Amino acid sequence: MKSVWKYCICLCLFIAANPTAQTIYQSAFASLNYNNYGLLNLAQTPVQNRIYTTVAVFEFEVEGLSKLEGQALTDRFTSELEKTQSIEAIVNREKVSEIMDELETERACKTDSCAIVLGSMLGVDYVVKGTVISEVGWFTLEFDLLSVEKKDVVENRKSFYNGDPNGLITEIGLVAWNLVNKVSPRELLKEKEEKAREAIRLAEERAEAARIAAAKELRQARIRALIRSSILPGWGQYYSGRKTWGWVWLGSELAIGTLAIVSYTQYNNVYSDFEDAYTDYNTATDHAEIAGLKVKAKKVLDEEFAANEQLKMVAYAGGAVWIANMIHAYISGPIQAETAYQKAGFDFVFDPDLKTPQLRFYIALD
């Protein structure tokens, strides 16, 4: 170890005493590239400090949104680009439209080559074109920064947004900063958080209003079913979509009604027999005949009493079934619309942890 230190000391003294050795030493270290060793080269300009000269922003293409909404999104994007201070001069949407009108040129460009040609006609170095697609609550945002000189895309950003449409304009601003590799300002991030909270609050209010409206409609539907079942057993259930129950209640009431008719007919027959026996009893003069008619009248009277009790029991049963049918119609109410159960399928979902959209396939194992 001591010998190594001796060699180092001798080498340092040699370099200090020899100007030629100093020149060789400085040249050797100057030729090293620190970046190859993972070290930070402070002289290199960071990506996010890159300055673009002139940029033209074309009106965004929109699907599922109105033209006015597309123009508003384009203007917000342009405004945020100006705030990044990464662009020396911006030709906004309105200026592009004016120049295109003067040149009598078609403004709609869906291809990169067309956008580059228009950028060359406008005399800018870069052009920005974007697409905003709205589909079933999802927003797909895609933006390209194209170089007119290189005739190619130099920056591309694609983002997915699923939330309240009011927060879309803030999302557009965030993408504008990201397109020029700038860190989004705290104000914009705070605005996004506030709009997210506002969206949650509005969603909760809408859900509560929908719940109240659904409860009111359900209550009214139950009352309508109750009124119908009070007129005709089973009608309320049939109105509510419970056709099987409707036929059950109607059939039960018809059966009881038939039994009531039979009981009433039996009661009338027995009552007629009693009147005949009573008339014969009053007109009879023979003591033996009177005694026999008395026994017969008493027997018929017992049968009349039994028939009357049976008729009352059937009437009570019919009334009970009628009332039960009304209660059932009100309590059960209409059949709620239910989502069809799928044994297997796939859908497009957004993973909140990975912050990326995913294609999900699922299959039920029961």
| Residue 231, pLDDT score | 92
Report how far residue 263's alpha carbon sits from residue 280's, in angstroms, rounded to the nearest whole number: 26
Q: Is residue 358 part of a domain?
A: no
Instruction: Give the pLDDT score at 201.
Output: 84
Pair of tokens at residue 132: 């905003």
CB atoms within 10 A of CB 293: 20
Q: What is the pLDDT of residue 141?
A: 92
Q: CA-to-CA distance for 259 and 264, rounded, in angstroms?
A: 9
Same domain? For 11 and 73 the reply is no
- 132: β partners: 62, 141
What gap in Å lies between CA 278 and CA 187, rounded to an integer?
A: 105
Look at residues 156, 183, 200 and tell me which one is the last residue of a structural domain.
200
68 and 194 in a single domain? The answer is yes
Shared-domain flag, residues 68 and 33: no
Local confidence pLDDT in tens for the 366 residues of the chain:
445 444 444 455 444 455 444 444 444 433 333 333 222 232 333 445 667 889 999 999 999 888 898 899 999 999 999 898 888 888 888 888 887 777 766 656 778 888 888 888 888 999 999 999 998 878 999 999 999 999 999 999 998 888 777 788 888 889 999 898 888 888 888 888 888 788 788 888 888 999 999 889 989 999 999 999 999 999 999 888 888 998 999 999 899 888 888 888 888 887 787 777 777 777 777 777 777 777 777 777 777 788 788 888 888 888 999 999 999 999 988 887 544 444 455 555 556 555 555 656 555 554
Residue whose structure tokens are 């930070």: 40
Amino acid present at 361: F
Q: What is the rounded distance in angstroms from the CA atom of residue 80 to the CA atom of residue 128?
A: 13
Residue 340 lies in a domain: no
Task: Give the C-alpha separation, 62 to 65, whole Å.
Answer: 6
CATH number at residue 96: 3.40.50.10610
**Looking at the domain assignment, is residue 23 inside a domain?**
yes
pLDDT digits (tens, 9 = 90+) for 80-135: 998 988 888 888 888 888 877 777 666 567 788 888 888 888 889 999 999 999 98
Closest CA to 131 of 200, 33, 62: 62
Range of the domain at 157: 49-200
Q: What is the pLDDT of residue 337?
A: 55
Instruction: Indicate if 135 and 246 belong to the same structural domain.
Output: no
Say how far apart CA 268 and CA 307 lie, in whole Å.
9
pLDDT of residue 299: 78
The phi-psi region of residue 136 (left if phi > 0; otherwise alpha if psi is between -120 and 50; otherwise beta) is left
Number of folded domains that form the chain = 3
> Do residues 85 and 21 both lie within one domain?
no
Q: Quick one: three-class SS letters along 84-95?
A: CCCEEEEECHHH
Q: Same domain, yes or no, for 87 and 157?
A: yes
- What pTM was estimated for this model as a whole? 0.48
Residues 6+ apart with CB under 8 A from 161: 138, 139, 141, 167, 168, 171
Residues 15 and 66 in one domain: no
Q: Which two tokens stand for residue 164?
A: 């309240």
Residue 239, domain member (yes or no): yes
Between strands 61-63 and 126-135, the pairing is parallel
Q: Kindly state whether residue 351 falls inside one of the protein's structural domains.
A: no
Burial track 30-50 (b if 16+ CB lie within 10 A, e otherwise): eeeeeeeeeeeeeeeeeeeee
Residues linked to residue 129 through DSSP beta bridges, in sequence order: 144
My answer on whether 139 and 54 are in the same domain is: yes
User: In this structure, how many other beta carbons lie within 10 angstroms of the beta carbon of residue 208?
Assistant: 10
The string of pLDDT tens digits covering residues 230-259 is 999 999 998 888 889 989 999 998 998 888
Mark whether 162 and 140 lie in a shared domain: yes
Residues 53 and 133 in one domain: yes
Is residue 53 in a domain?
yes
Does 26 share its domain with 100? no
The beta strands (E) that lie in the chain are given as 52-57, 61-63, 87-91, 126-135, 138-147, 152-162, 344-351, 356-363
The verdict on residue 365 lying in a domain is no
What is the tens place of the pLDDT at every residue in 285-303?
A: 777 777 777 777 777 777 7
Q: Is 185 found in the same domain as 67?
A: yes
Whether residue 222 lies inside any domain: the answer is: no
Strands (E), 200-355: 344-351
Q: What pLDDT was estimated at residue 360?
A: 60
Terminal CA-to-CA distance of the chain, rounded, Å? 75
Which two tokens mark 240?
């509510």
